[in-house]
A and B are shown apart, each in its own frame.
Chain A
Amino acid sequence: GDSVTQMEGPVTLSEEAFLTINCTYTATGYPSLFWYVQYPGEGLQLLLKATKADDKGSNKGFEATYRKETTSFHLEKGSVQVSDSAVYFCALSDEGNTDKLIFGTGTRLQVFP
């Protein structure tokens, strides 16, 4: 079945450092791809999305590009802030089959001043 694999955390960075969180997927169809963020004690919020190959999703300085040839959707940010500390989830949408989301295991990011 479809699946999402993302790098294990925690990822620990100093403020203003460059961030990459790797995400790869396997899918029989042509899914949409998402990054969700979970701040401490809160639910999941959509961070960005991409629906077709070579699409770049972006929001709040974060970016991810839908790479069909490498089945990847890596999350990047050029300069992280302490307020970016959270858990990040990569997910694909199983469209055509109830549109359920299939999640990666999540990556905790800790940013220190």
Chain B
Amino acid sequence: NAGVTQTPKFRVLKTGQSMTLLCAQDMNHEYMYWYRQDPGMGLRLIHYSVGEGTTAKGEVPDGYNVSRLKKQNFLLGLESAAPSQTSVYFCATLREGGLRNQPQHFGDGTRLSIL
């Protein structure tokens, strides 16, 4: 039972390069989220999805794109990486919306450095 799996765990990029972070879940959850964690700022929402084929912008979406072609996968793309995108990225899932007692489940994170 893997839960929420993020790949890769670490990556170093040069400015201007592109890459895709993968989040995979085996819990059949409807909602998926991408957050970034920066020192002194907690976690901030980048993009989210409320179901297969849907995506929406969060608090800090600039410079990122996402896709949810399959229910179990949520991809986060950086088309042209910038040093300001150096961060730890977390994926989270939620069984479904509107249920007050349901917590989000987090992956172990992807540490991304942009030089």
Contact residues of A with B, CB < 8 Å?
4, 32, 34, 36, 42-46, 49, 51-52, 89, 93, 95-96, 98-101, 103-106
The answer for the CA separation of A89 and B42 in the assembled complex, in Å, is 8
A/B interface sample: 11 pairs, CB < 8 A? A34-B103, A36-B106, A43-B108, A46-B104, A89-B42, A98-B56, A99-B102, A99-B104, A101-B33, A101-B92, A103-B43
Q: Is B58 in contact with A44, judged by CB distance below 8 angstroms?
A: no
Chain B residues within CB distance 8 Å of chain A = 4, 31, 33, 35, 40-45, 48, 50, 56, 58, 90, 92, 94, 97-98, 100-109
Q: Which of A42, A49, A99, A100 contacts B98 (CB 8 A)?
A: A99
| Complex CA distance for A42 and B4, rounded to whole angstroms | 12
Residue of B nearest to A51 (CB): B100
**Given A43-B108, A101-B92, A103-B43, A32 and B58 contact (CB-CB distance below 8 Å):** no
In the complex, which residues of chain B have a beta carbon less than 8 angstroms from the beta carbon of A52? 100
Q: How many angstroms between the C-alpha atoms of A2 and B40 in the bound complex? A: 18
A45, B31: Cβ atoms closer than 8 Å: no
Bound: A43/B48 CA distance, A? 18
Assess the B94–A99 pair: CB atoms within 8 A.
yes
Structural contact, A43 and B94, CB atoms closer than 8 A: no
Contacts of B42 in A (CB 8 A): 4, 89, 103-106
Residues in A whose Cβ lies below 8 Å from that of B43:
44, 89, 101, 103
